[in-house]
Amino acid sequence: MTSALYRHVLREIPVPNAILAGGIAIDPRRERLVLTTKNLGMVSVDLDSTEIVTTLSSQVGGAGVAVTPGGNRVLAVAPAPDAGTILFADPLGPSGSVVVGGDARDIKISPDGATALVTNAGLGRLQVLDVTQSTPRLVANVATGSAPVAVGVSGGGTDVAVANFAGRTIGFYHVVSTATPVRATPPIAMTGDAVAVAVTGGTLPSGTVVETGAASGAALHVVPSAAAFRVPAVEPASTTVTLISDGVRSLGLPFEVVEPIPTLDPRPTGITLDPVDADCGAGPVDGALRILRLSPDGKLIAVSREGPSCARVDVYQAAPGGATALGARLVDGASLPGATALRDLAFTPDGKKLWVATDAEGLFEVDVDTQSGGFGSVLPFGGATVGSARALAADPMGRYVVAAVDVTPGVHRIQLWSPGRTLSTSVDLPGPVHALAATPDGRYAIAGGEGRAYVVDLASPALVASTPLHTNVPHDVVT
């Protein structure tokens, strides 16, 4: 039996004044049709009203066009003479283009919306773009047959087919899931610096290779959730970091390599951190700005504010962002119940929380995630398990916040807390600690005591070394 609708036109949608370029896609919600045109750019057509509701981009697209599963981003290949360019349009964000070289012919987006696959006939490659960034980034190239012109992705995203025009063949590829980099600490570094890369969605084997731009090398230190590497001698540029595990490449993580500053030339910015008066019961005071910490992504500055029997924490905007100006005070005097003096501050590895050590029992966590409904709220935790906290440091690998504590008088410990406030383990020390720092590769925590420093292996974890006793000063400082 044959349906009466078989091979019948159900509806025709006019697109006035448009010279169609051959690219067409339906967004996953089936609300709009996306078209590439030679004269109007990339446009979307409402499938209910059949009217052009949005000009997505004035750039002229080619025959390949795709829409992310959420429907919020459109990507298209550009026609000659810009055939090595991928166009992207986002109604809620930036639109623009990214150069991939060669002759890009077709594009598809994976079902999870994280990657775009591009057939490049000029280069003989299947190119992989990370489309989770504000500007898509080329993160991988896979060899294909001769002159690949079309690509298809299975519904589950595990299989990819590529049509090779010159070879008259179809190539099949299997997509293997792997750990995805989520954060580089620090995100900007110089040649020779150690950098830690945290991952999600998988574990890393000991033989993980780190690729920075065009250079690659074995990781310095690998744990299941992160890898550390030393920045190779590459040209200063905005690039990506890619992890290669058992031959499988991850998505690329934005990373920037910069030149060393030969001569420091500090200049005023016109920004002053001027806390408003705070009244802690003994009259209003400005408070001493004694402790300052920068968030891992460099966007926030946390500052202690202290006065007579008064302990507060302010958070400022360290980089301009959207409607928030550089130097704007985002958290104004977060109150820490029972605290009269601040001892240390540390951002969690993801930069979304700020931990505070004070003279009160336990620790405090301040929510500094600007996208959170609890932004600026304060949560006491730890209590008698912590006792008196003296110093804090974040693990660059993202596993811990390290705390130096006196659980009771004379009982000195390094505690390793998960960023979710769960105590993982503790290491006893022979003396008190007043300062903490983690090595950039995440191997060790260095604790400054009273005339000596202690080295704690974060993987064991265990106390593995102590320096000889030197001139007995009250507090050692480590950086």
Chain segment 410-432, per-residue pLDDT in tens: 999 999 999 999 999 999 999 99
pLDDT at 197: 95
Of 60-69, 91-100, 144-153, 297-306, the one with minimum mean pLDDT is 91-100
Residues in Cβ contact with 265 at an 8 Å cutoff, skipping those fewer than 6 apart: none
Encode 359-427 in three state secondary structure: CCCEEEEEECCCCCCCCCCEEEECHHHHCEEEEEEECCCCCCEEEEEEEECCEEEEEEECCCCCEEEEE
Q: pLDDT for 205-259, tens place per residue?
A: 999 999 987 788 999 999 999 999 999 998 898 888 889 988 888 877 888 999 9
Residue 34 predicted with pLDDT over 60: yes
pTM: 0.73
Which domains occur in the chain, in start order? 20-174 (2.130.10.10), 180-257 (2.60.40.10), 279-466 (2.130.10.10)
Of 136-150, 266-280, 455-469, the one with minimum mean pLDDT is 266-280
pLDDT at 47: 80
Residue 9 predicted with pLDDT over 80: no
Q: pLDDT for 169-194, tens place per residue?
A: 999 988 877 788 889 999 999 999 99
What does the mean pLDDT of the chain come to? 87
- How sure is the predictor about 368, in pLDDT bands with cuts at 50, 70 and 90? very high
Higher-confidence residue of 272 and 313: namely 313
pLDDT at 301: 94
What tokens were used for 137? 């980034």
pLDDT at 206: 92
Residue 31 predicted with pLDDT over 80: no
- How sure is the predictor about 91, in pLDDT bands with cuts at 50, 70 and 90? low
- How sure is the predictor about 96, in pLDDT bands with cuts at 50, 70 and 90? confident
Distances (CA, A) of 316 to 183, 326, 376, 419: 22, 8, 12, 22
pLDDT at 2: 54
pLDDT at 186: 93
Cα separation, 113 vs 436, in Å, equals 41
pLDDT at 309: 76
